Amino acid sequence: MYKLRKSVGFKSLMLLTSIIIFTACNNPVKPESYKVLLITNNDLAEAWQAYADWKKSIGKSTKIITVSDISKDYNATNIQEKIRLCVRDYIENYGVKWVVLGGDSQPNDKGVVPGGHITVHQQEPKGIPTDIIYLSPTNWDADNDGIYGEFKDDQEAITYPDGSIGLGRIPVRTREDVIAFTEKVIAYEANYPTGSFASNMVYTCTDQPAYAKVRNSWDGYLSKVWNGNSKRFFSSETPWDEEGKLGSYELSAENLVSLINNKTTSKMHIHGHGHLPAWLLEGKSTFIGDHVQQLNNEGAYPLITTVSCNTGEYDSDKDPSIVEQMIRKPKGGSVAVVAPIRTGKPHFSDRNDFKLMVLEGKLDGTTHTMTRYWMAGMNDNATTGEALMKAKSEMIADAKNSEAYHLCICEINLLGDPTLDMRSAAPKTPKLEVEKQLTLGKNKLEVSTAISGCTVCVWKENDGIYEIAKADDTGKAAFNLEIASAGDMVVSASGINVNSAVTKIYVK
Ligand SMILES: [Ca+2]
């Protein structure tokens, strides 16, 4: 699918122009390509530029496109379908690997970026906006009745994520939100704590029937593939209990604030009841917006998964949800939370499985999705958005056979940045060494990073220079550059478990 204005005739003309340019400069003309597509509205587009520049500087070239431009450039009867066509265009023709929905949504296609098509389900008869449809090559309405994602009638047009493209929605509303979030992302990617923070995970659980499966998520799954440490912060037991008094340390909002503020835990799974503005904790303690305001975990932002009902409801008129507050909080909270948009149901394909869940810890669809998310990040080095889509892709067979699992794939979202390395270990910091100055004309630029295999990126906007290379075994990468104008050149080193380092070279 192509943009309308790129008709076949236009494309032929482009090809001809490319050949002429190619012949004239004897330099291959690279097709436009991007790693990240960020969709937002006109009000926020400018504020997102700093985020796009940061991503580009570390090798993830980012295209910002507005909903109103999409509405003009793509031909369909509704905005969701136009956004889907745009996303497919950028995946198929521009090399996009991550899709960021850069804003909150509200009912009836309002808000910064409208939610994906409303899909209807037996357990969600009012329907839920389903962002994963934006990645789909098919339109989720096989019988063409305007009702999307019907388990039986639309099955032929339903394509679930295959894990190759990362998706996330950053539910911001204002320019200030965008600026604060960008600052957190840069801190996460460039100044992530280098001590034991990366390897510590805490499971919280206040729901007795869920204890067994939450234990099993770690004991039977994640601990098998990741060499990190976990602690159980349950109503019934915590590592901080007084001797001989199991459960004496309360899983309260105040203690959860302390846990986050002491900057020791980089990964959290929050299991238990909740509603849009709150996590319900032990006794009558509720973690609400006041507690988010007490968070001062600057620079140590945990990744979070939560099953708690409606905490990830990004499309409500009642705003913000507790997860949205965690994302929007300046210098605190989180940069990516996996959460259900409505009730976080324990999905099973067989009724007897509920008993097995309580007694033996059999994972339901929701807990399994979140467990797989962590496994994909810790074991396969998937980014946040890739990891969730990979978790969903591993449930496709279940979803084709079970209406409950179909809903499970649709209702769990990544709220936050989908491009983030999940930090399975404490990051190394590159020792970035380059020449301080270059001159016009042909240059061979050598970049030393001291980290083998990391990503080295060289970018000079004015001359159209944008090169990415992998550092060799000695942590070095070399580039042959033809520099046409004076000004700054940006050089960076980044990668899996690497704190991004960025420097500038002045060309005179
Ligand atoms: Ca239909």
pLDDT of residue 3 exceeding 90, the answer is no
Spell out which residues have Cβ within 5 A of ligand 1, the ion.
141, 143, 145, 147, 150, 154
* 487-499: average pLDDT: 97
Q: How many CB atoms lie within 10 A of CB 382?
A: 22
* Nearest by Cα to 417 from 52, 23, 32: 52
DSSP label at residue 309: T
pLDDT tens digits for range 289-332: 999 999 999 999 999 999 999 999 999 999 999 999 999 999 99
Q: Give the CA distances from residue 314 to residues 2, 104, 142, 182, 211, in Å, rounded to whole numbers and listed in that order.
A: 30, 6, 27, 19, 28
Pairing state of beta strands 229-234 and 200-205? parallel
Cβ-count burial 172-209 (b if 16+ within 10 Å, e if not): bbeeebbebbbbbbbbbbbebbeeebbbbbbbbbbbee
> For residue 56, is pLDDT > 90?
yes
The rounded distance, in Å, linking the Cα atoms of 5 and 424 is: 44
Q: How far is the CA of 192 from the centre of ligand 1 (A)?
A: 46
Greater confidence (63 vs 27) lies with 63
Given pLDDT bands bounded at 50, 70 and 90, which one contains residue 109?
confident
State the DSSP code for 249: S
Q: What is the pLDDT of residue 350?
A: 86
How many angstroms separate the alpha carbon of residue 39 from the centre of ligand 1? 26
Q: For the chain, report the end-to-end CA distance as a whole number of angstroms.
A: 44
Q: If you measure from the C-alpha of residue 139 to the centroid of ligand 1, how many angstroms do you get, rounded to a whole number?
A: 10
Contact present, 495 and 453 (Cβ < 8 Å): yes
pLDDT given for residue 57 in this prediction: 98
Q: How far is the CA of 119 from the centre of ligand 1 (A)?
A: 9
Average pLDDT over residues 258-275: 98
Q: Contact, 486 vs 456, CB < 8 A?
A: no
Residue 38 CA, ligand 1 centroid: distance in Å: 28
What is the Å distance from ligand 1's center to 153 Cα?
Answer: 6
Q: For residues 152 and 272, what is the distance between their CA atoms, to the nearest angstrom?
A: 32
pLDDT of residue 72: 98
Question: Ligand 1 center to residue 155 CA distance, Å?
Answer: 9
- Per CATH, which fold does 191-377 belong to? Rossmann fold (3.40.50)
Task: Let me know if 329 is exposed, middle or buried by CB neighbors in 10 A (0-12, 13-18, 19+).
Answer: buried
Per-residue pLDDT tens digits for 164-173 = 999 999 999 9
Distance (Å) of CA 142 to CA 66, 128, 151, 155, 216: 28, 18, 11, 7, 39
Report DSSP state, residue 29: P
Dist. CA 161 → ligand 1 center (Å): 19
Among 68, 156, 80, which Cα is nearest to 118's? Answer: 80
How many Å lie between the centroid of ligand 1 and the Cα of residue 146? Answer: 6
Mean pLDDT of 448-472: 97
Greatest Cα pair distance in the chain:
81
362 with 373: CB under 8 angstroms? no
Number of Cβ within a 10 Å radius of residue 427: 24
Tell me how far the alpha carbon of residue 411 lies from the centroid of ligand 1, in angstroms.
Answer: 18
- For the sheet with 286-287, list strands across it: 274-275, 278-280, 286-287
Per-residue pLDDT tens over the stretch 223-261: 999 999 999 999 999 999 999 999 999 999 999 999 999
**Burial, 448: exposed, middle or buried (Cβ in 10 Å; 0-12, 13-18, 19+)?**
middle
The pLDDT assigned to 329 comes to: 98
Are 135 and 72 contacting, i.e. CB atoms less than 8 angstroms apart? Answer: no
Element containing residue 175 per DSSP (H, E): helix 175-190
User: Across residues 382-410, what is the average pLDDT?
Assistant: 97
Q: Quick one: three-class SS letters along 64-89?
A: EEEHHHHHHHCCCCCHHHHHHHHHHH
pLDDT tens readout for residues 170-224: 999 999 999 999 999 999 999 999 999 999 999 999 999 999 999 999 999 999 9
Q: Residue range 376-399: average pLDDT? A: 98
- pLDDT digit string, tens, across residues 335-371: 999 999 999 889 998 889 999 999 999 999 999 999 9
Residue 79 Cα to ligand 1 middle (Å): 17
Whole-number average pLDDT of the chain: 93
499 vs 22, higher pLDDT: 499
- CA proximity to 508, closest of 405, 435, 447, 409: 435
Q: Note whether 1-30+427-508 and 191-377 share their fold.
A: no
pLDDT at res. 139? 98
CA of 143 to the centre of ligand 1 (A): 5
Predicted confidence band of residue 492 (pLDDT cuts 50, 70, 90): very high
Does 27 score more than 50 pLDDT? no
CATH class of 1-30+427-508: mainly beta
Q: Which residue ranges make up each domain of the chain? A: 1-30+427-508, 191-377
How far, in Å, is the centroid of ligand 1 from the Cα of 403?
15
Average pLDDT over every residue of 435-461: 95
Q: What's the confidence (pLDDT) of residue 351?
A: 84
- Give CA–CA dist 408/58, Å, rounded: 34
DSSP 345-408: ----SSTTHHHHHHHH-PPPHHHHHHHHHHHHHHHH--BHHHHHHHHHHTTHHHHHH-HHHHHH
User: For residue 40, what are its two tokens?
Assistant: 């937002």
Reported as type and span, the H/E element at residue 119 is strand 118-119
The span from the CA of 33 to the CA of 89, in Å, is 12
Q: What is the pLDDT of residue 108?
A: 87
Ligand 1 mean position, distance from CA 129 (Å): 15
Q: Is the peptide bond before 346 cis (omega within 30 degrees of 0)?
A: no
What is the reported pLDDT for 31?
56
Ligand 1 centre from 317 Cα, in Å? 26
Distance, CA 337 to ligand 1 centroid (Å)? 30
Distance CA 210, CA 444 (A): 59
441: left (phi over 0), alpha (psi -120 to 50) or beta: left
Instruction: Report the C-alpha gap between 353 and 496 in whole angstroms.
Output: 38
DSSP assignments along 424-472, one per residue: SSPPB----B--SEE-SEEEEEEEE-SSTT-EEEEEEGGGTEEEEEE--
Q: Residue 120 Cα, ligand 1 centroid: separation in angstroms?
A: 9
13, two tokens: 């003309």
Cα-to-centroid distance, 78 and ligand 1 (Å): 15
Distance CA 90, CA 69 (A): 14
Put residue 497 in one of left, alpha, beta given phi > 0 → left and psi -120 to 50 → alpha. Answer: left
> Any idea which residue has 């991503």 for tokens?
55
